[in-house]
């Protein structure tokens, strides 16, 4: 029986290499449009979370929840681990994530701006920017993944 050190020093077999590559980060995804959109959404939700923490702590849970959801989608897409869950409709889940985030951040941003605190106004501005990023992401998902495609036979 091999010890843990002996297994670590040996090169992995072909079958084990595929298992070990399961969490390897795809750097081309991170530089693609979808990767940049997810990274932007992640950064903006974190900024809004910090703004809400500094001003109105009642609204920070929405930003924190959306931060973790976006982080999970970024992780699943960057590692291509989502392909193991082939029964889930990932474009539909991603589209619903964007639409729900648009609704949540519109409501929370307009509710926060009523406090007239400096950090709350900053959260409102970043929230509107984030809503536009989520709307663009939802639009791209719908256009590329979910919209019905017209074929040559449909046009004739």
Q: What is the pLDDT of residues 69-106, one digit of tens each?
A: 999 999 988 888 888 888 888 889 999 999 999 999 99
Q: What share of the chain is helix, strand, coil (3-state, %, to 5)?
A: 80, 0, 20
**Tokens at residue 76, please?**
């699943």
Integer distance in angstroms from the first to the last C-alpha of the chain?
A: 68
Determine which helix (DSSP H) or strand (DSSP E) holds 91, and give its type and residue range: helix 90-112
Rounded CA-CA distance 76/78 in Å is 6
Count H helices and E strands in the chain, helices first. 8, 0
Contact 127, 48 (CB under 8 A): yes
- Where does the pLDDT of residue 154 fall: very low under 50, low under 70, confident under 90, or very high at 90 and above? low
Residue whose pair of structure tokens reads 């106004």 in the numeric block: 121
How wide is the angle at C-alpha 108 spanned by C-alphas 107 and 112, nearest 5°? 120
Q: What is the pLDDT of residues 31-73, one digit of tens each?
A: 889 889 999 999 999 999 998 888 877 888 999 999 999 999 9
Q: Where are the domains of the chain?
A: 17-146
Cβ count within 10 A of residue 88: 10
């Amino acid at each position: 029986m091999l010890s843990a050190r002996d297994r670590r020093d040996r090169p992995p077999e072909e079958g084990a290499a595929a298992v070990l590559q399961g969490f390897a980060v795809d750097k081309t995804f991170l530089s693609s449009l979808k990767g940049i959109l997810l990274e932007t959404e992640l950064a903006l939700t974190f900024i809004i979370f910090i703004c809400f923490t500094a001003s109105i702590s009642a609204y920070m849970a929405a930003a924190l929840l959306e931060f973790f959801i976006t982080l999970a989608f970024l992780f699943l897409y960057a590692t291509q681990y989502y392909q193991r869950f082939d029964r889930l409709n990932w474009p539909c889940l991603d589209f619903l994530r964007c639409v729900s985030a648009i609704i949540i951040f519109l409501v929370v941003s307009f509710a926060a701006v009523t406090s007239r605190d400096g950090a709350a106004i900053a959260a409102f501005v970043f929230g509107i920017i984030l809503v536009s990023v989520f709307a663009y992401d939802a639009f791209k998902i719908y256009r590329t993944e979910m919209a019905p495609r017209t074929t040559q036979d449909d046009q004739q």
